[in-house]
């Protein structure tokens, strides 16, 4: 059973790569950005559906949380980062969205065009901030994993970086906090892609509430902004990992 599931997992990675290549070819045409984002979301929804049908994994999300995520507009969606496919799961559930992704993704031959055309590539904090604020102003959600990398198995409450908080503070957008769990743990940091267990993987998605960014004041200084970002980051961390 474990070997068969490893072969199935390999098939999904091949499918993902082929999908990225197809999407990149489609982006050679002058597609409107909203249409391209909807295409990407549709492909991720198909990926999740196929995984459920083949019993590779399934997503457990309550009807209330599913509706909440689908109705989001112009929010910073913050989540812990457990596996390689967290972004696929969140994209498939959230209303129109983009995601902040590592610069290395833009060097992947299968994902280069997708990353540069539809996602926010982390080429530097100021550029990410400008792009994110622009998307939020247009009503597009911005998905951020504040850990910056997958959660290490030996540090389940990994430290958060302040980028998501700065985006929320600069834009005034609300923060929607999400907690992900995965049973059994798979596709984690330093974990082989073929180790997908003996039974259906269950990804649990739980909304942990909304945090409204404190309003900016006209006399705000850099130090005060930094302190507000520290406080907001701590609040997001507590909301994700707290009881």
Q: Return the domain boundaries, the chain.
A: 2-241
pLDDT in tens, 195-243: 887 889 999 999 999 999 776 655 455 558 889 999 999 999 999 998 7
pLDDT in tens, 112-151: 666 666 788 888 889 999 999 999 999 999 999 999 888 8
User: What local confidence, expressed as pLDDT, does residue 139 receive?
Assistant: 96
Mean pLDDT of 6-12: 75
Helices 222-241 and 163-171, axial angle in degrees (round to 10)? 120
Question: How would residue 109 be classed by pLDDT, with cut points 50, 70 and 90?
Answer: low
Mean pLDDT of 82-87: 91
Instruction: Please give the Cα distance from 10 to 12 (Å, whole number).
Output: 5
Distance of CA 216 to the CA centre of its chain: 26
User: What local confidence, expressed as pLDDT, does residue 214 receive?
Assistant: 74
Cβ-in-10-Å burial (0-12, 13-18, 19+) of 119 comes to buried
Instruction: Please give the Cα distance from 101 to 56 (Å, whole number).
Output: 25
Instruction: Please give the Cα distance from 218 to 8 (Å, whole number).
Output: 56
Mean pLDDT of 159-177: 95
Residue 97 pLDDT greater than 90, yes or no: yes
User: What local confidence, expressed as pLDDT, does residue 219 receive?
Assistant: 47
pLDDT in tens, 172-207: 999 999 999 999 988 888 888 778 878 899 999 999
Percent of the chain with pLDDT over 70: 83
SS3 label, residue 215: coil
Mean pLDDT of 19-32: 66
Are residues 158 and 92 in contact, defined by beta-carbon separation less than 8 angstroms? Answer: no
Residue 84 pLDDT greater than 70, yes or no: yes
């Amino acid at each position: 059973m474990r070997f068969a599931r490893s072969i199935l997992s390999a098939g999904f990675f091949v499918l993902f790569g082929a999908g990225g290549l197809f999407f990149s070819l489609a982006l050679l045409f002058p597609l409107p950005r909203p249409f391209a984002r909807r295409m990407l979301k549709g492909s991720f929804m198909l990926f999740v559906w196929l995984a459920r049908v083949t019993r590779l994994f399934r997503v457990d999300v309550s009807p209330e949380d599913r509706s909440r995520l689908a109705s989001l507009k112009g929010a910073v969606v913050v989540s812990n980062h457990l596996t390689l496919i967290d972004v696929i799961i969140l994209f498939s559930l959230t209303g129109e969205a983009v995601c902040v992704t590592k610069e290395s993704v833009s060097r992947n031959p299968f994902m280069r065009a997708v990353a540069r055309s539809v996602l926010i590539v982390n080429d530097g904090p100021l550029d990410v901030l400008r792009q994110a604020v622009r998307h939020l102003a247009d009503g597009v959600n911005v998905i951020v994993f504040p850990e910056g990398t997958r959660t290490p198995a030996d540090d389940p409450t990994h430290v958060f970086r302040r980028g998501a908080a700065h985006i929320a503070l600069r834009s005034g957008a609300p923060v929607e906090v999400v907690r992900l769990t995965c049973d059994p743990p798979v596709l984690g940091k330093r974990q082989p892609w073929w180790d997908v267990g003996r039974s259906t993987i269950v990804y649990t998605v739980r909304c942990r509430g909304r945090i409204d960014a404190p309003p900016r004041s006209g006399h705000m200084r850099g130090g005060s902004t930094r302190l507000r970002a520290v406080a907001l980051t701590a609040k997001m961390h507590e909301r994700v990992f707290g009881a």
